[in-house]
Amino acid sequence: MKIPFLDLGPQWAEIREEAEPLLGGMFAAGRFIGGEQVELFEKEFAAYIGRRFCVALSSGTAAEHFCLRAWGVGPGDEVILPANTFIATSEAVALTGATPVLIDIEPEGVHASVEAAARAITPRTRAIMPVHLFGHCMNLVRWRALADAHGLKLIEDACQAHGSLSGGKRAGTFGHAAAFSFYPGKNLGACGDAGALVTDDEALYDALLMIRNHGASKPFDHQLLGSTERMDAIQAAVLRIKLKRLDDWNDRRRARAAQYVEALAPVEGLWVPRWDDADSPCHHLFVVRHSARDGLARHLAEEGIGTGMHYPVPIHLMPANRWMGLQRGSLPHAEKACETGLSLPMGPHLAAEDCARVAQAVRHFVER
Ligand SMILES: Cc1ncc(COP(=O)(O)O)c(C=O)c1O
């Protein structure tokens, strides 16, 4: 039996009974833009994260890009972000015309340190955008203090961290704003592209409501430069149904992550993620690192086990980012993480037996 890297089928099976009549009614009524489902989702997601406001948007990239734009970030400005993230984090900055300033991660870690962020601040810096990568919530208390001390904005990239906590505080509650993605494979995934921005800042909230709708607060009264960046009503309806299950699904991921750690932490030569007891990651991805990563991926494929790479190439070495002028070796820890990281199957419906089989296959390769 094959073990896929990601299988969304069981999620639909779990929500189908509730989703089908609701979606059928929406299709019959022809209600696809705005309306009750979007408004309810915004209220429910803001309450879940613990923020005053949520704006439902077309994607996580849109949330980051338009948040920065609403703050007036643009050409000549700099935004600090880590080098090991999905390209969207730097794309969102570049789309404003500002310059993404990449910082390296800690040698054996997943995230950059607050000291690295502090060193990267210049008179042009306008914002800092840390990423809660793989669903590991960073404790951003010191990052927020750093941003406030320099009059900078802190925007959390929480696109992989729905329901993740550090020190009892949820990802999405540390910064001036936080961006979430609901890409289908996320812990809270739509049935297409969707995203959201959460904040306690009413002025930012009002600006985003307009920007997502061509800069208009009422029909044909276009006050700001905006775009078509609304979340579709059917995505909001699906997300409302899934949000009720998010904590349970995250707990199931936590159980599988604990199982992987127990089986794999003792394996010499294999890097396995670790986290503080005070943290509760939501394990969007479970990434191990090994010097023979490609061989390990091939071995698992031969065993019928799907894997992923997050991310095979760091963003400064992507052809689209050649303009940054950064050479290989300039961000060595992020580069090494990209060369050695392998994402194992992970999800709320990954069976304990399958998880055990994956761990055994990994051990077999590394120890032989
Ligand atoms: C870390 C990170 N940032 C940003 C994004 C962008 O989100 P979206 O794909 O919804 O635009 C993603 C999504 O994959 C992500 O993983």
Domain coordinates in residue numbering, the chain: 9-103+111-243, 246-367
CA of 193 to the centre of ligand 1 (A): 10
Alpha helices in 220-272 (DSSP H): 233-243, 246-264
Contact between 121 and 157 under an 8 Å Cβ cutoff? The reply is no
What pLDDT does 137 receive? 98
Report which ligand 1 atom has the smallest distance to the Cα of 85: 1
pLDDT at residue number 363: 98
Ligand 1 binding residues, C-beta < 6 A: 59-61, 85-86, 88-89, 131, 157, 159-160, 181, 183, 193, 195
pLDDT digits (tens, 9 = 90+) for 280-295: 999 999 999 999 999 9
Q: How confident is the model at residue 29 (pLDDT cuts 50, 70, 90)?
A: very high
pLDDT tens digits for range 144-199:
999 999 999 999 999 999 999 999 999 999 999 999 999 999 999 999 999 999 99
**Cα 130 from chain centre:** 11
pLDDT above 70 covers a percentage of the chain that reads 100
310 CA to middle of ligand 1, Å? Answer: 12
Which CATH code for domain 246-367? 3.90.1150.10
The predicted pLDDT at position 161 comes to: 98
Strand pairing category for 99-103 and 153-157: unpaired
Q: How far apart are CA 188 and CA 240, in angstroms?
A: 10
Mean pLDDT of all residues belonging to the chain: 97
Q: Which pLDDT band, with edges at 50, 70 and 90, does 79 fall under?
A: very high
**Closest ligand 1 atom to the C-alpha of 132?**
1
Q: How far is the CA of 86 from the centre of ligand 1 (A)?
A: 6
Alpha-carbon dihedral angle through residues 60, 66, 67, 71, given to the nearest 10 degrees: 160
- 21: CB partners within 8 A, 6+ apart: none
CA of 3 to the centre of ligand 1 (A): 25
Pick from 137, 180, 183 the residue to mutate for probing ligand 1's pocket: most ligand atoms within 8 Å of its CB: 183
Q: What is the pLDDT of residue 276?
A: 93
Q: What local confidence, expressed as pLDDT, does residue 359 receive?
A: 98
Mean pLDDT of 236-263: 98
Asked if the 9-103+111-243 domain carries CATH number 3.40.640.10, the reply is: yes
- 9-103+111-243 and 246-367: identical CATH topology: no
Termini Cα distance of the chain: 23
Mean pLDDT in residue range 275-279: 94
Nearest ligand 1 atom to alpha carbon 64: 4
CA-CA distances (angstroms) from residue 104 to 236, 275, 314? 36, 19, 10
pLDDT in tens, 86-143: 999 999 999 999 999 999 999 999 999 999 999 999 999 999 999 999 999 999 999 9
Residue 111 CB-half CA count within 13 A: 22
Look at residue 209 in the predicted model and tell me its pLDDT.
Answer: 98
Instruction: State the sign of the Cα–Cα–Cα–Cα dihedral 193, 197, 203, 206.
Output: positive
**Cα(60) to centroid of ligand 1, in Å?**
5
- Encode pLDDT of 320-357 as tens digits: 999 999 999 999 999 999 999 999 999 999 999 999 99
